[in-house]
Amino acid sequence: MAKFVFVTGGVMSGIGKGVIAASIGRILQARGFRVTAVKIDPYLNYDAGTMNPYIHGEVFVTEDGGETDMDIGTYERFLDINLPKSHNITTGQVYSSVIERERKGDFLGKCVQIIPHITDEIKDRILNISKETVDVVIVEIGGTVGDIESLPYLEAARQFRLDQGISNVVNVHVTLVPMLDVVGEQKTKPTQHSVQELRRIGVQPDVIIARSKIPLRSEPRKKIALFCNVEESAVFTSQDISSIYESPLLLDEQGLGTYLVNRFQLSKNTPDWSTWKKMLNSHLNPHGEATIAICGKYAELADCYVSVNDALRDAGAALDTKVDLEFIETDDFEKDPARVRVLSSFDGVLVPGGFGSRGSEGKIKAIEYCRTHDIPFLGICFGFQLGVVEYARSLGIEDAASSELNPQSSNHVIDLMPEQNNVLEKGGTMRLGAHEIFIEEGSLAQSLYHNQSVWERHRHRYEVNPNYISQLSSGGLRFSGKSDSNRRMEILEMPRNKFHFATQFHAEFKSRPGRPSPPYFGLIRAALTTKNPEITTEHLVAHKSRGSR
């Protein structure tokens, strides 16, 4: 029988529940237990696919094509597992399912209510996930205690403990303990109020994890234990750290792993942190340094590109290099084209995915500058498409464009996929999930992946127009990765450049700490060899593909 950990949050959003949930999973994995994770999002959207990244952060894509919350990506990276889309539960999904069943007559004339019908649907989804041959299921309930949207999920969690038994369910509450700079005092009152609200709903936390700048002092810890009705040994600190990958180690050192094992009556295995510590050391103590410009349209919020950021740092760690990131709004290059010269001060440039015309011409200017000045460049999805547009224009196709951006152009080198031409809706209509890609022998892509066939995740509805492939290829551009019987172009590279590389897929979604994504690894390696010409690729760490199955 599986055990369950419910992770809730209080005081404010964005305090790191996802990292805490993933850390709990890693603590249990280090002891040999099989773990999986679930993210509950209380919003009414069916999934994260149609939400602006500024509103909800990055949209993370799973192997089976789910457009999910970015915390699913955090779980995958921490736990090194691929999670299906069923592990991201939303209010839209829950209510749609219950209403569909009501329309079929499944409730036999009953009045359909939040309790028990909605709560039963929530519990059933979690129980179905627990059948996946796992020892522990970690369930993060999104939002903050007190939000009206979260109430059915907290009620389901309350019932879950009754249904499964107290020894099989642990409630973990993550709160903020602010510290006033003037007096240096850690204030526990927000935590007390948050727990009071949680208990009013009927959920008593077993564990409290306090987010704080520094470790909890003895007196605040005692106050939290006393006023929140929690054992002092079950009050932990999640302090500010240099790398999120420090989190499971710090929590385990405080005794969280021991507490969970005892509470769940699991075998007391000795944790093995050797591989994790080696990976962490490569992130915390690199010897080299590289600066990468991320030229996008969501530069104000790092969460918009969290998987990209982590993939770059994973690649840097594998190459004993600290990667410094700077976000650049490409609107600036449109207002003043001369400003694109700022890219000459970077060791590499990345143009990430995105949608819409805003900043797109600025991205094209950035790609052109990298190509003509031989600056290492990596394009992802939309960056791949704009790389094709940029090169087409360099061949003399002056109005080359994407039909997404300029419907009036007579040369749509990027166009809707044929199966999308009759689709009017924008939600839930993209090519999603993992698809097999075949890589040409002797290409840069093959030297990165060490394979001729790989699986990578996609999220797009536009692609290279096949009518232009011959013209683009004859001009020097090489499409070294293709899919669907060579119908779709997946990877482009420019052999005459040191590293001018782009992918239609989102390689960052399969990056892992200790095993980085091959395209990101290639960018950082090229950035290092460009910055230090005396370094050869043979001196750098060998890398095996994460993209293959």
> Residue 306 belongs to what H/E stretch?
helix 306-318
Q: Which of 58, 67, 121, 508 is catalytic?
A: 508
Cα–Cα nearest to 58, from 307, 296, 310, 350: 307
| Gap between the Cα atoms of 158 and 27, Å rounded | 25
Question: For residue 468, what are the contacts with CB-CB under 8 A and spacing of at least 6?
Answer: 392, 397, 411, 413
Q: Which of 67, 381, 404, 435 is catalytic?
A: 381
| Gap between the Cα atoms of 519 and 514, Å rounded | 15
Task: Indicate if the alpha-carbon torsion angle 190, 138, 50, 292 is positive or negative.
Answer: positive
| Gap between the Cα atoms of 516 and 82, Å rounded | 15
Cα–Cα nearest to 84, from 52, 55, 51, 47: 47
- Catalytic (active site) residue 508: yes
| Gap between the Cα atoms of 271 and 256, Å rounded | 12
**Mind giving me the DSSP string for 255-267?**
THHHHHHHHHT--
Q: Which of 173, 283, 412, 506 is catalytic?
A: 506
| Gap between the Cα atoms of 351 and 502, Å rounded | 9
* Helices 17-29 and 70-79, axial angle in degrees (round to 10): 20
Burial class from Cβ neighbours inside 10 Å (0-12, 13-18, 19+) for residue 275 reads: exposed
Three-state SS letters, 110-172:
CCCCHHHHHHHHHHHHHHHHCCCCCCEEEEEECCCCCCHHHHHHHHHHHHHHHHHCHHHEEEE
Question: For residue 242, what are the contacts with CB-CB under 8 A and spacing of at least 6?
Answer: 284
Radius of gyration of the chain (CA): 25
Q: Under a CB-based contact definition with an 8 Å cutoff, are residues 414 and 464 in contact?
A: yes
Q: Under a CB-based contact definition with an 8 Å cutoff, are residues 383 and 395 in contact?
A: no
- DSSP class of 269: P
For residue 47, how many other CB atoms are within 10 A of its CB? 20
Q: Under a CB-based contact definition with an 8 Å cutoff, are residues 436 and 491 in contact?
A: no
| Gap between the Cα atoms of 511 and 509, Å rounded | 6
- Catalytic (active site) residue 506: yes
Q: Under a CB-based contact definition with an 8 Å cutoff, are residues 394 and 477 in contact?
A: no
- Catalytic (active site) residue 381: yes
Cα–Cα nearest to 463, from 444, 449, 448, 482: 482
Half-sphere exposure at residue 185, Cβ-oriented, CA atoms within 13 angstroms? 6
Catalytic residues: 381, 506, 508
